[in-house]
Structure formats: C-alpha cells, structure tokens
Chains A and B, each alone.
Chain A
Amino acid sequence: MSLKSFLKKKLVSPELDEQLEKIEMPVGTLGYDPWGFNTDTNKIVLSLFANIYHKYFRVETHGIDNVPPKGSALIIANHSGQLPIDGTLIAYSLANRKKSPRYPRAMIERFFPTVPFLGNFLNQVGAVLGDPVNCARMLDSNEAVIVFPEGIRGSGKLYRDRYQLQRFGSGFVHLAMKHNTPIIPVGVVGCEETIPAIANISPLAKLLGIPYVPVALPAVLPAKVILNFGKPIHFDNEDLTEEQVTRRVEKVKSAINGLIAKGLEERQGVFQ
C-alpha cells in the first residue's frame, strides 16, 4: 500500500469521502487532472484541514449558495495574509457545502511553481498557476475559479494597509465577459490578522527571487475568519474599450468593499 492510500484510509472519514465523492471532477484514470489536481491528496488534505477551518479559524460563511451549483463561475475576493490561506478557506467552504459541493480552483501567483514541495502541493489540492490560458480552459470546462485580482499587491501588503483594496487587474472581467461567466464577489475578513506584517525586506526578496519577505511573527495567528459571498454579477460580452472594462472592474471592487465592511461589522473581535 502506498503512503497516500495509507493516509487516505487512516484520515478520510467515510462521511467526508461520501461528501467529496459527490463532486464530479474531470480526472484521468489515476486521479490526476492536467493541472496536477489529485483526488486522493485533496481528500487527505481536506480531512486534515477540517479542524483548522472549524476550530482554529472558526470560519463563518454567509451567502455561500450564491455560488451556482454547476457551470463556470469566477469567485473574486480580496487577498491578504502573506500565505494563500484565504484561497484555501474559500475552497474548503465550497467543498464542505452540504448542498451541491464544489472544488473551486484557486489561481495562484506565478512564483509558487518554483518553490519546492509547496508548488506541487498546491497543484495537487487544486490550485493553478494564475495564467489567463489556464483560467479560460477551466471556465470552458465549467469549473468554479477563485481569482484574487490584487495578486501579490494584496497578499504582501502590510498590516497598516489592512482591508484597503489594492489595484485590481482587469483580466478577470475580460474572461467573465468572453466565457459568459457570473462573477461572485467575496469579502474575506480575518486573514489580514493571521500573519500581520510590519515591513517587507525587499532586497532579501529580490535576492531570493520571491515577491516579498515580510517582517512578521513566525506563526499563523488564530484570527476569526468571516467569508461573505455576494450576489452574482453578470456582464454582457460587448466590445468595450479598456476604460469601460475598468468601470466594470470598479463595480466588482465596490461590491467586495461592501462585503468586507459587512464582515467587519459582523465580527465581534479579531480573535473571538
């Protein structure tokens, strides 16, 4: 028996297995898809992640049924927290959804594939290199895709800039229009406080070839996380100028800002 089969047998409960079996994924005969997603690894990780999700971050979700049960969907959220914890929590919340669970695919920054172990691990649990070609193919195959249009500008920002949305790329609106895909805005509250950074050591980051090296506590803090899923936004596929597309980007940004404000109001305290 391979290590993976052993871990799956030991860790994955029959209930979780049954829940995840409901999700249809276009994988090959040995459980992999072309982006490296692996059903068994995913089940093991989700079973290990259950406690982190429920007990450590005590995640609360609102409006999760705004993500359609099937068909392509772009889940657009604010990015924060140095590590891709926010994407993992959104993905877990949808895989764990009682009605019509889904495995959404998170688009990750371009430097992750170059990091040993982490790049492969992220691929095996469904994350994908944030490339427009990858995203377009996933939408064509009716997948739900998580995109953080702020990219590293969002994840690498300092604690003093928390909950201030950085510049959004416009690629996701072009993709939504071209592939006739609804955009589900998500406001993530809590991840800003998981790894609060006070500075970024840019020269070291440059030397190591990574986007940022934060000055932060060497720990992930147990901040309470609230995920607010907004109503789907549909954009017609019209021939627009880049300025008109930017206006559509701003519309999504404004929806996310509203959801963040709602989450901050709902929160009783950072760690409560």
Chain B
Amino acid sequence: MSTTPKPSPEKIEAKAKKASKKKTVLVTGAAGALAQQVINRLRGKYQIVAVDFRELTFLSDDIPSYKIDFNKRVFEDLFKAYSFDSVIHLGRISSGEETRLRRYNANVLGTQKLLDLSHKYGIANVIVLSTYHVYGASAYNPALIDETAPLKAAELTQDLVDSVELENLANIYLWRYPDLNITILRPCNIVGPGVKNTISRLLTNTISPALMGFSPIMQFIHIDDMADAIALAHKQSKRGVYNVAPNDWIAYQDALSHANCTPVPIPSVPPILPKAITKIMRLKMFPSYLINYFKYPVVINGQAFEEKFGFKAKRPLREIFRYYREVKK
C-alpha cells in the first residue's frame, strides 16, 4: 500500500478555488490508461478532477488529482468543494487483484457511495464502466448478446460477483434516480497501448496459454476507440445500459497468432483440469476464474450504442494486432 498522505479538506478547498469555472467532471480510476485517454479528450473543454483509490497520479498542473478511498468521509469533501456537473466512473480493482472482500468494498460499496453522493449533490450525468464479463461465458450463449440478456457471470465464479453487483447497483440507481442520467457501458475486451488487463497481457507475451481444442470468438476494442465512446456517452448523456463493441470478430488462438504470440495448449478435458493447472501453477496471466472466457464465446451486440450515440470504432483489428507485434520487437 502506498503511504501517500490523505488529502485534507483545506487542501481540497484551496485547489478547488484555483480551478477554472468550466463545467467540472470527476473522473475515477485516474491511474488507469483508459481514464487518462478519456481525460485527454475532455481537457480544455471541462475542468477535470481525477481520483483513484489505488495510487496518486500526476496528470498536469491544471488537473487536481487525489488518492482517496471512496468509502472514507473525505471523499464527500471533493463534492462539496468542486460542485461537479458530471461523473465518469472508470475506477475499479480488477478481478483477481486484492482479496474478494477488499474488491467488494472498493468496487461495490465504493460505487454505492459515489452514486449516493452524486444524487445528494445533484449531478445530472454519470457514466459507469462495466464489462462484458457480466454476461458470463457459457456453452449455451447465443452470439450478439444484447443488453437485456441475464447477467450470469456470478453463477460461474465468486471472483466476478463484484462485477455483477456493481452493475446491479448502477441499474437500481439508474431507475430509482432518473435525474442522475446514468449510462452504463459494457465494453468487450479493451486492448492497446497502456492497457494492463488479462487479455492485453496475453497478447503482449511471446507465448500465452490457450485451452486445447477451444478458440472462442472474441471482440476487441482499441483503447482510443473506447475513450472516444466514453467521451461521446458523456457529451450526449442518454441514460441506459449499452454494450460497446465493434462489428469485427476473431477466434482467440487466431488473435494470438496475429499478435505474434505462440499459444501453449493447456489440457481442457475434464473441465476441472485446466482450473486445477492454473491454480497450482498460479498462472496470474491466465486466471482460473476467467477460464470459461477462453473456452466459450461471449459475443456482444454493440448496435444499440452505435445507433443511439452515432458511434463507430475507427481502429480495425489489424491495427490492434500490429501494435502487439511491434511491442515484441
């Protein structure tokens, strides 16, 4: 844990006074590559305040940045000092990091606190980043899953419970407090420069595990396209739940080949075997709770988001894989 001093209310107020009079946006998860891309798209047009509960990130002199636990009372001081107009909630502890309890506290209870404060301080535009993992990877999934499909991830593994709970919570607030104008985005695999999630790490390696005999269809969205999608959702503020995925698909093992990465087969039958192998070998890059996502496809339908917001992903799959080939040189 970092020993960064906690921000005092006085310091927050002093920084807030210096901030310009533009509309103010709170961006969470500031230490992540995606948040930084989103901030790059909003800076200049908005006064941005960045927070992260993992680490303090210096972005630039004109962007106040804080390391704050959302569950601490000092978090509310930010809302008092800055009078935010909108919130972009991208911060979460990834599945597999920290303990389940800490993840639950940060991701679920932290989000609840954020939404409560957003309601209390009259914020009229909230973007919540979710993930396609909430649908769950099952052999019986149809392709092009739309937003009305049940969220079955929690049935498969306890490690994804917080992702589903976060979604359910945001959905409850979406309907209970329509004035918050909550937009929940469920993107497919976000990849590209700076992204440190499981799939991005696998594509970066020169050898990566793959389940023998399984190569599910996957979707990838470039981090720049995802940042564009978030900026667009923030600008237009239309409440609802939306999948975000380009109209392009590739099988996992083919994706590894395109990224110049050699698949290392892991025995897949009986199903207990790959889970046991990844657990025993502590393969962090191929976590046991995500095994099913490398076995069965979870192909989502991003059409509703495209039509409602006029979004079109600009970076094709070839460009994504070119990046992963080049990082290996």
Contact = CB atoms under 8 A, between A and B. Distances in A.
Contacts of B184: none
Contacts of A38: 251
Interface string A20-39: 00000000111011111010
B254 A30 contact: yes
A110 B258 CA distance: 30
B250 A123 contact: no
A29 B250 CA distance: 9
Interface string B206-247: 000001111111000000000000000000000000000001
Contacts of A129: 139-142
Give the bracket for the number of chain B residues in contact with chain A.
Answer: 20 to 34
A35 B269 contact: no
A119 to B, nearest CB: 7
Contact of A123 (B142, B213, B217, B254): B217
Contacts of A35: 143, 217, 299
Contacts of B142: 129, 131, 133-134, 137
A125 to B, nearest CB: 13
B317 interface: yes
A193 B208 CA distance: 44
A137 B296 contact: no
Given A28-B317, A38-B251, A117 B143 contact: no
Tell me whether chain B's interface is mostly helix, strand or loop, or mixed.
loop
A216 B142 CA distance: 33
Interface string B297-317: 101000000000000000011
Question: B139, B142, B248: which has the most chain A beta carbons within 10 Å?
Answer: B142
Interface in A123-170: 123-124, 128-129, 131, 133-134, 137
A33 B141 CA distance: 15
B117 to A, nearest CB: 39
B24 interface: no
B247 A28 contact: yes
A86 to B, nearest CB: 23
Nearest to B296: A113
Nearest to B138: A113
B249 A28 contact: yes
B258 to A, nearest CB: 7
A114 interface: yes
Contact of B268 (A2, A116, A123, A133): A116
A117 B213 contact: yes
Given A116-B268, A134-B142, A137-B143, A33 B213 contact: no
Pick from B249, B250, B258 the residue with the most CB of A within 10 Å: B249
Contact of B144 (A28, A117, A118, A137): A137
Contacts of A137: 142-144
Nearest first, the 10 A-B pairs at minimum CB distance are: A116-B213, A28-B248, A133-B142, A117-B213, A34-B143, A113-B139, A32-B249, A131-B142, A134-B142, A36-B217
Given A36-B249, A116-B212, 18 more contacts: A28-B247, A28-B248, A28-B249, A28-B317, A29-B248, A33-B249, A34-B143, A36-B251, A38-B251, A113-B139, A116-B214, A116-B268, A119-B139, A119-B214, A123-B217, A124-B251, A137-B142, A137-B143
